[in-house]
A and B are shown apart, each in its own frame.
Chain A
């Protein structure tokens, strides 16, 4: 009896301690949340391994960490509504996240291996690539209705829409194909055969830029004729061709400059997008993938997936300014507009 009594007391005591700790932690979070409203220029990073979102300011100072889901990867901003959509791969979900209150508003389920996202605000649609199902799903973000399930090759990753929403592009890593779908009828229109392991797609006027991770290049296709126009081959000092594994492609506001993260080659490259000429290679952390520009275009944020940090680059001087810690295995980055 005495033993039981003692045991029970012990349990109660420790649970009080635990509650007190949780309370302090919650208060701390509340405190941070109240004092750092997310506004334009706020940097949001999804971290695959730690399953959270890191919020930073433009100087790279972390001011909030929000636990979110299992393996958050691709993100997309709904600028006019102040919402952020986040693909939670291992939950097979996309989360609709309210940026100002930092709360999950809604969950879109049944999206196996949800990976990359593209948003079309005008028509209130998001496209999600489902790595686990060889499909891409088109969702109406108002009603939550599934508008279409687009069949792709295995391991779909990058998704993109034309500005007018009339064409949808999905890259299948395994098949080496970019699938083109009609943005209205959702009928398959064309399959573009790419080099090995196409990852991300970026649209510049009537050009489709596709990074080929295992082909070590960026291929450029014409959006109208679907012909391949050109390709960019990279060669930073000290790396062999097969170490160049480009993933994210990002254009500046004017679409005159492109930034490409070179993965295993630990560099970011700046490209004159008009002349398709390489301007500079910048050494960053280990395996850079995700890229984002500040609203004024003066700073480029580069996510280093294997060194768990972000390199901030001054786009004028083309030099790295500083490096900040992220969560574990940072995947995607959005800077609020």
Chain B
């Protein structure tokens, strides 16, 4: 009690976040977001499962049960479904200052809510969007990113291609703005590691015979020599038809074929099978079938919560679980079940972590690849490094 009182005075003195012997998590999601439509192509086929991140957050809290019991910490989880048609700020009013806020929101709304949580001095985590601008230009000290950035994903892919000696790359992308943006990021990653981009081509979604150079895989991938085809297709409309249809018999990587991932059901090492099994079975009245595992967004949400709960083990201060003090402490580390622990990059608040390179059913490699070395952090060859970042929070 005395100790708590002292910390309370201390927190008043620094007028910072309140001392937490409790750990509160708040998930912000969009009311009536159509989960069914996410991940669907124009043809109506679901190519990517999308699930709310809540189950992964519950798993992270479930894993902390014994530790919380040992140290007498209470935890709570609330979910607020935001109604975009009424004032958002007023819907955030009830969130405790010491709560960790997980943003499970579509891009535009996430940006809006991130700004509001910043004004309210709430620590919020992006667990869904890899867009570079959220890190580099939005750049707010209360806004953290547990999902890897496009730069991290594509640096991992770039390292893999160089490691395999597949230096001649044919880059194919879709016509959307997002595809153009991601293709540029991939281009820069490949250039950085020394790949040779033999051509860049844009596919179209049409059946017009006049457009066959742009809509038929055999034509789209012909007339040039390459080791590998890298495809950017954010909507997953076209890319999935490229494998086995390229003009030359070459592997396909990027958004199809070998893809950079945050998490995968097929990871066999580092305790990953145990984590995957727990994810499926920890809710006794809602079991999931084998091969179902966390999506990249779910894994990011799990990582965000674990970053706080693991700080009990990695920091010397085991009492203070307020997200603001945990996340700015470089000693805070998280066991990610990927062989290398994760931590927050102090300059742009991105969670540094290894990236898996996987096919649909197997993890082929884990980046950083051998011989890609960084002077300070093993995984900092992936993503925007401190000197290159436009965001310099600390």
B66 CB–A CB distance under 8 Å: yes
> Hey, which chain B residues are within 8 Å of A215, CB to CB?
313-314, 333, 341
Contact with B along A209-221 (1 / 0, CB 8 A): 0000011100000
Contact with A along B112-150 (1 / 0, CB 8 A): 000000000000000000000000000000000000000
Task: For B70, give its contact among A173, A193, A242, A243 (CB under 8 Å).
Answer: A193
- In the assembled complex, the CB of B82 is this many whole angstroms from the nearest CB of chain A, namely 33
| B residues neighboring A (CB under 8 Å) | 63-64, 66-67, 70-71, 271, 274, 277-278, 310, 312-314, 318, 333-335, 339-341, 374, 376-379
Task: With A196-B335, A215-B333 as known contacts, state yes or no: A154 contacts B274, CB within 8 Å.
Answer: yes
Q: B335–A193 contact, CB under 8 A? A: no
- In the assembled complex, the CB of B333 is this many whole angstroms from the nearest CB of chain A, namely 6
A309 CB–B CB distance under 8 Å: no
- In the assembled complex, the CB of A337 is this many whole angstroms from the nearest CB of chain B, namely 32
Q: B63–A242 contact, CB under 8 A? A: no
18 inter-chain pairs at a CB distance below 8 angstroms, sorted by A residue, are A131-B274, A132-B274, A132-B277, A154-B274, A175-B67, A176-B312, A176-B313, A193-B313, A194-B313, A196-B310, A196-B335, A197-B335, A214-B333, A214-B341, A215-B341, A240-B378, A242-B340, A242-B379
Number of A-B contacts (CB under 8 A): 68
Minimum CB distance partner of A153 in chain B: B66
Distance in angstroms between the alpha carbons of A191 and B274 in the assembled complex: 22
Q: What would 20 more interface pairs be, CB under 8 Å, given A177-B70, A245-B339?
A: A153-B67, A154-B274, A154-B278, A173-B271, A174-B63, A174-B274, A175-B63, A175-B67, A176-B310, A176-B312, A176-B313, A177-B66, A191-B70, A193-B67, A193-B71, A215-B313, A242-B377, A243-B340, A243-B378, A264-B340
| A residues neighboring B (CB under 8 Å) | 131-132, 153-155, 172-177, 191, 193-197, 214-216, 240, 242-243, 245, 264
> Hey, which chain B residues are within 8 Å of A194, CB to CB?
313
The 5 A-B pairs at the shortest CB distance, nearest first, are namely A176-B313, A240-B378, A214-B335, A153-B66, A191-B70
Q: B313–A172 contact, CB under 8 A? A: no
Q: B274–A177 contact, CB under 8 A? A: no
- In the assembled complex, the CB of B133 is this many whole angstroms from the nearest CB of chain A, namely 28
Task: For B314, give its contact among A153, A195, A245 (CB under 8 Å).
Answer: A195
Q: A193–B318 contact, CB under 8 A? A: yes
Distance in angstroms between the alpha carbons of A146 and B271 in the assembled complex: 27
Q: B376–A240 contact, CB under 8 A? A: yes
- In the assembled complex, the CB of A35 is this many whole angstroms from the nearest CB of chain B, namely 38
Distance in angstroms between the alpha carbons of A153 and B378 in the assembled complex: 29
Distance in angstroms between the alpha carbons of A173 and B278 in the assembled complex: 14
> Hey, which chain A residues are within 8 Å of B70, CB to CB?
177, 191, 193
Q: B63–A154 contact, CB under 8 A? A: yes
Minimum CB distance partner of B315 in chain A: A195
Distance in angstroms between the alpha carbons of A153 and B274 in the assembled complex: 13
- In the assembled complex, the CB of B94 is this many whole angstroms from the nearest CB of chain A, namely 32
- In the assembled complex, the CB of A135 is this many whole angstroms from the nearest CB of chain B, namely 12
> Hey, which chain B residues are within 8 Å of A242, CB to CB?
340-341, 377-379
- In the assembled complex, the CB of A51 is this many whole angstroms from the nearest CB of chain B, namely 15
Distance in angstroms between the alpha carbons of A155 and B318 in the assembled complex: 22
Task: With A155-B271, A194-B313 as known contacts, state yes or no: A177 contacts B67, CB within 8 Å.
Answer: yes
Minimum CB distance partner of B309 in chain A: A176
Distance in angstroms between the alpha carbons of A215 and B377 in the assembled complex: 15
Distance in angstroms between the alpha carbons of A174 and B63 in the assembled complex: 7
> Hey, which chain B residues are within 8 Å of A175, CB to CB?
63-64, 66-67
Minimum CB distance partner of B374 in chain A: A240
Minimum CB distance partner of A264 in chain B: B339
> Hey, which chain B residues are within 8 Å of A216, CB to CB?
341
Distance in angstroms between the alpha carbons of A58 and B334 in the assembled complex: 41
> Hey, which chain A residues are within 8 Å of B341, CB to CB?
196, 214-216, 242
Q: B67–A176 contact, CB under 8 A? A: yes
> Hey, which chain A residues are within 8 Å of B314, CB to CB?
195-196, 215
Minimum CB distance partner of A306 in chain B: B269
> Hey, which chain A residues are within 8 Å of B278, CB to CB?
154
Distance in angstroms between the alpha carbons of A194 and B333 in the assembled complex: 13
> Hey, which chain A residues are within 8 Å of B71, CB to CB?
193
Distance in angstroms between the alpha carbons of A172 and B67 in the assembled complex: 10
- In the assembled complex, the CB of A106 is this many whole angstroms from the nearest CB of chain B, namely 28
> Hey, which chain A residues are within 8 Å of B378, CB to CB?
240, 242-243
Q: B66–A172 contact, CB under 8 A? A: yes
> Hey, which chain B residues are within 8 Å of A155, CB to CB?
271, 274
- In the assembled complex, the CB of B306 is this many whole angstroms from the nearest CB of chain A, namely 10
- In the assembled complex, the CB of B321 is this many whole angstroms from the nearest CB of chain A, namely 13
